[in-house]
Amino acid sequence: MSVRKWDGAARRSVDWDGLRRDPELWYNDGNCLVHLYEQGQSRRGPAFKIPMDALLQTNCRPLLDRFLAASPGSSPSSQCSSDDSYFGQSMERVYELYIPAPANVDRGEAFLYHTATRNFFAWIFGKSLVGVHLGGALVGLLNSMNEFRSPGEDNVQGIIDYMDEEGYADMRNAPDHALAILYFAEHFRFRDLWIDAFAHCTGMNERLIVSPGFEFIARTTRALVTRSRFEMDMRLDQCGERLSSFLSDDLADSHLGLSSAARAHLDKFRSFLQSYYVAKFGYYPPACENGRAAFPKHIYAQMCSEFHKLYEYVVDNSRNVGDTLPLAHSGGVCVLQNVQAFDQRHKYQPLEHPFPLLPETEDNSKPPANKRFSLIFKADKMKPDPRLVTLAHLVKATNVQDQSLLESTLVRAYRGFEKDCVFYPTKDRNEKLSQTDARKVRWILVYTILQTLLSATLAPEEVRDTHNVPYNICVLTAGCPPWKERPYETLLRTQTDQMKLDFQAAMPQSPTDSEPFSPSEIKPDIDYFAITHARQDSETLLSSTSSRKGTVRRALSTLGNMPELRHPKPQRASYHEILVHGYGNGTNNVCITARPATTSPEDLPRKVSSDSGSSSMEDLSSRWSNTSFGGADSPTTSASNSRRGSDASVEASKKSIKNFLDRPMSALGLARTPSSVYSESVYSEDPLQPDPLQVKKTEQDFMKVTTEVKVEYEENDEPIGNIHVAF
């Protein structure tokens, strides 16, 4: 916990450790010794030596009643019955004050308590405060003043005067002071003082984090400061963008309805302003900082001052916002409607006087007839120049009587611009405009530019010091402060209670404080336990992998013991067959079996032997079905075993084949033979079923169905082996 001494006049802080004997509070001619311990509890000498008169003049009666040591044989109440008794005895004896810390407090809390006591005496004698942060020292001082001074004293005004004298109230370019005043005002709910400090903190937002008092500010307040700075920067950028073109977008046709002549005069007035500021600054718009669109602060301030004087030069101070519309403003360009629409669009506070002074209209009525001829010969000599008359009317419609306004270069240049408009008017008839409407158009631009500049420069009313501030303080205070005002007396605490709060704030609890204490252990450079655990984990992993491998092997071995499926070997004839279409081979009955068109050789349910050169349908059917001669499943009829046959038998055979082809087919391409289709013949017998699949373990000359299974093992994303199994 670091304690610093805050020198307000020098705007600096230094480390401080002078509680044992403070040289600033040690007066050689003092007659009151102040001890920071209980009487008789320490041999340490006094910490301060001060005059008793100062305590009497500041009405510190409660302090003397509590801590003034009694002389032998008397009590403090009897000796200190009145302030006169103090004053009368102050030159005759030495007084001693024993101000101990509260009981049952640790060393840090006692140190903060004595620091607050020291600050109370520093306030009495006009010395600098000490503390962890300046805001906490100010809060503790007001609490001590309320506790140690007599009732009825204006302690708030006393501490305000003290801050002014010591320089703490000057927050310009001083982050420590601004944060201290902000903390102090927020603690006791002083609204005006809070807004004053808030504006300075917003302007110095990027510098606050290095200040010792920043971490003691409430999070809500810190968020408000950051948000206010962000909003202010955005607003300044927008003002710079609008002023770069003198509000060409805000006063475009979509927002300001003007005739072509009025629009031309508005552009002419913009060109005049552009030329004026180019001559003044050397270029316009001025150079911006850090690539931003906002103008530098001094440029905003200078332009605002000039436009404010120009506004005062032509404003009509006799008419306010709520007044009825003057007759002179009823025709032509409507000033009030346009300026109010601009204020509402940008949420600006309307100016008190929204109307300009307008020149008088010339009386164009003809003189009476009886005087017309009497003046006909002198008309040319007596008639003044109409341009001088118009200029006189324009000058009259100003606040020229205020000579201070003519000190502004912009006001003088504006007078020259109006003179040029009168003596050198435009020759285009479409751009002819009356001087009244021309003044209205110029007023609208002056009013809107001034409102824009005020939003970029105007500080809140609560801010006291606005001059010589190098940063922007044009903050918006809507919704601020984040609390409601209340009597500060309800927020006062005793010095003991404040000491406890300050100690908790100065010594925040770290996340490890809430965890139970665990003894520290000394570990070698190489963690052998970690290696052992890793080795055990590796063995466990290998054992689990081996168990998985064994399970797979047992499953594969079970698959390997399964019998293989084989089709029976087809029977080969001992002779070569001679096939004749329609007659078979001469020995077996003709058996013609149709197969679906989608059946291909690859789809056949078995492999045809290479020894047989026959691929006829009869051979395929006979080998799969093993039907006997003249079986009932055959759809054909044979008259005899002889090769001879009549035409009738041939026709019958063709008809039988046709009927067979018209029958529904099975999935294997063989015809179904329901019992109701064919009549029983003499050759009918029970059909023979195909032989069942045989189970054999030999592989010679048999069709073999194989399936390959590949099993791979991986450990730590690396293959460790594979197994190929065929069954």
d(CA 96, CA 39): 10
d(CA 702, CA 700): 6
Q: CA quadruple 177, 182, 187, 192: dihedral positive or negative?
A: positive
Question: In the predicted model, what is the mean pLDDT of residues 604-615?
Answer: 42
**Packed helices 409-423 and 297-314: angle between N→C axes, nearest 10 degrees:** 50
| pLDDT (tens digit per residue) in 427-466 | 777 678 889 999 999 999 999 999 999 999 999 999 999 9
d(CA 558, CA 182): 86
Question: By percentage, how much of the chain surpasses pLDDT 70?
Answer: 62
Enumerate the β-bridge partners of residue 713. 721
d(CA 538, CA 322): 90
Question: In the predicted model, what is the mean pLDDT of residues 172-198?
Answer: 96
For residues 651 and 390, which has the higher predicted lDDT (pLDDT)?
A: 390
How high is the mean pLDDT of the chain?
76
Residue 148's alpha-carbon distances to 31, 304, 364, in angstroms, are 19, 50, 83
Q: Are 118 and 25 in contact (CB under 8 A)?
A: yes
| pLDDT (tens digit per residue) in 472-513 | 999 999 889 998 888 878 888 777 777 767 677 766 555 444
pTM above 0.85, yes or no: no
Pick from 204, 137, 218: nearest CA to 174: 204
Q: So what's the pLDDT on residue 186?
A: 95
Element (H, E) at 723: strand 718-726
Q: So what's the pLDDT on residue 585?
A: 59
Q: So what's the pLDDT on residue 616?
A: 42
> Is the preceding omega at residue 481 within 30 degrees of 0, hence cis?
yes
Confidence of residue 355 (pLDDT cuts 50, 70, 90): very high
For residues 177 and 291, which has the higher predicted lDDT (pLDDT)?
A: 177
Q: Are 255 and 345 in contact (CB under 8 A)?
A: yes
Q: Are 653 and 706 in contact (CB under 8 A)?
A: no
Task: Extract the runs of DSSP E, i.e. beta strands, from 36-180.
Answer: 48-50, 95-98, 129-131
Q: So what's the pLDDT on residue 613?
A: 43
Q: Which residues lie closer than 8 Å to 401 by C-beta, 6 or more apart? A: none
Q: So what's the pLDDT on residue 492?
A: 81
Per-domain boundaries in the chain: 4-189+497-504, 232-361+385-457, 528-563+705-727, 565-692
438 burial level (CB within 10 Å; 0-12, 13-18, 19+)? buried
Q: Which residues lie closer than 8 Å to 29 by C-beta, 6 or more apart? A: 51
| pLDDT (tens digit per residue) in 614-625 | 444 444 344 344
* Start-to-end Cα distance in the chain: 82
Q: So what's the pLDDT on residue 589?
A: 59
Residue type, 99: I
DSSP class of residue 26? B
- Report the length, in residues, of the chain: 727
Q: So what's the pLDDT on residue 44?
A: 85
Question: In the predicted model, what is the mean pLDDT of residues 621-639?
Answer: 41
Is the pLDDT assigned to residue 517 strictly greater than 50? no
Question: In the predicted model, what is the mean pLDDT of residues 298-305?
Answer: 96
Question: In the predicted model, what is the mean pLDDT of residues 396-408?
Answer: 93
Q: So what's the pLDDT on residue 488?
A: 76
Q: So what's the pLDDT on residue 498?
A: 73
Q: So what's the pLDDT on residue 668?
A: 40
Is the pLDDT assigned to residue 285 strictly greater than 60? yes
Pick from 206, 243, 242: nearest CA to 225: 206
Between strands 95-98 and 32-35, the pairing is: parallel
Quote the Cα angle for 102-108-111, to 5°: 65
Strand order in the sheet with 129-131: 12-15, 4-7, 129-131
Q: So what's the pLDDT on residue 291?
A: 78
For 129-133, 183-187, 221-225, 521-525, which range has the lowest pLDDT when averaged over its residues?
521-525
Q: Are 569 and 702 in contact (CB under 8 A)?
A: yes
Q: So what's the pLDDT on residue 92?
A: 63
For residues 695 and 509, which has the higher predicted lDDT (pLDDT)?
A: 509
Most confidently modeled range among 87-91, 544-548, 681-685: 544-548
DSSP class of residue 163? H
Element (H, E) at 699: none
| pLDDT (tens digit per residue) in 537-583 | 555 544 555 555 555 455 444 444 444 444 455 555 555 556 566 65
| pLDDT (tens digit per residue) in 366-387 | 455 454 445 454 555 567 888 8
